A and B are shown apart, each in its own frame.
Chain A
Amino acid sequence: MTVLLAADELVDARGLSCPMPIVKTATAMRALASGKVVEVLATDPGSVKDFNAWARSTGNELIESTQEGSVYRFLIRKV
């Protein structure tokens, strides 16, 4: 997989269940300035729908949502 956009921070939520991928991402994003990009890796299949919903409620931009094997990868830009 080619990484098109370099992230400012990586949140490794692989192996974690709901709601920890979202909770960890939100916690990591608090320390970041607006416009910064976070890359999230998760293995919870529910996180695909969850990150879309979370982006809608927070206004953060879900730039990319991809899957490679059992790992889901999300790129999010802080609003």
Chain B
Amino acid sequence: MTTALLERPTTPAEAPLPAPEPEAKVATKQFVIINWSGDLDKVWPVLILSSTAAASGLAVKVFITYWGLLPFVKEDRWIVGRNWMQKMLAFMQRPGISHVKLTKMNFFGMGPWMMGKLAKQNNVASPRELLEAALALGVEFVPCQMTMDMFGLTRDDMIEGLGEPAGAATAIEMMTNAESSLFI
């Protein structure tokens, strides 16, 4: 993408604004997704909806928790965690956006591989591309501190550009303030 710097234009508009109200009203709308599942067929819609919502002018927050944390781990990490159980979990479910599995028809990676192939044939953006677009459009991903601790994940294990880790009270506040919220 050529327009990587996404600063809002600071220069005054050349033409007088016909109706500034709708934009102002739209900007305050909040859309929240609780990204609980780390599965490919669930992370994909989370990223499609969050990037589209941000593109539509909504303030978008995605609370990433439980299995949903794993796609947001840096791709060069595999055996994360401090103790053997955390390491074992990471071994069984390799973290990172490119290693997500399907809820059904996984078949030891055959399913996701075929989904990736089909997506490519149909020019569907990959989860990784969508994640980059979502971050560039200002989607705020808030990792769950408690599940990060449980999986033994540090801030350094997580990709760049995420928000400050927080807890359930933050998630509740996000949802109650939002126009619409989803648990995926």
Could you list which residues of chain A lie within 8 angstroms of chain B, going by C-beta atoms? 15-20, 22-28, 30-35, 54, 57-59, 79
Contact = CB atoms under 8 A, between A and B. Distances in A.
Given A19-B51, A23-B52, A26-B137, A35 B14 contact: yes
A27 B136 contact: yes
A32 B22 contact: no
Main secondary structure of the interface of B (DSSP, over half): loop
Interface residues on B, range: 20 to 34
B55 A54 contact: yes
Given A23-B51, A24-B1, A58-B57, A33 B124 contact: no
A27 B3 contact: yes
Contacts of B6: 27, 30-31
A34 B15 contact: yes
B11 A26 contact: no
B11 A57 contact: no
B83 interface: no
Contacts of A16: 123, 125
B1 A20 contact: no
Contacts of B26: 57-59
B125 A20 contact: yes
B9 A32 contact: yes
22 contacts: A18-B124, A19-B125, A20-B133, A23-B130, A26-B54, A26-B56, A27-B3, A27-B55, A27-B136, A28-B3, A30-B3, A30-B6, A31-B7, A33-B11, A33-B14, A34-B14, A34-B17, A35-B13, A35-B14, A54-B56, A59-B23, A79-B17
A79 B22 CA distance: 9
Contacts, number: 85
A58 B73 CA distance: 32
A28 to B, nearest CB: 6
Nearest to B11: A33
Interface of B: 1, 3, 5-9, 11, 13-15, 17-19, 22-23, 26, 48, 51-52, 54-58, 122-125, 129-130, 133, 136-137
Nearest to A16: B123
B103 to A, nearest CB: 21
A15 B89 CA distance: 39
A33 B56 contact: no
Max chain A Cβ within 10 angstroms of own Cβ: one of B7, B8, B9: B9
Nearest to A14: B123
B55 A19 contact: yes
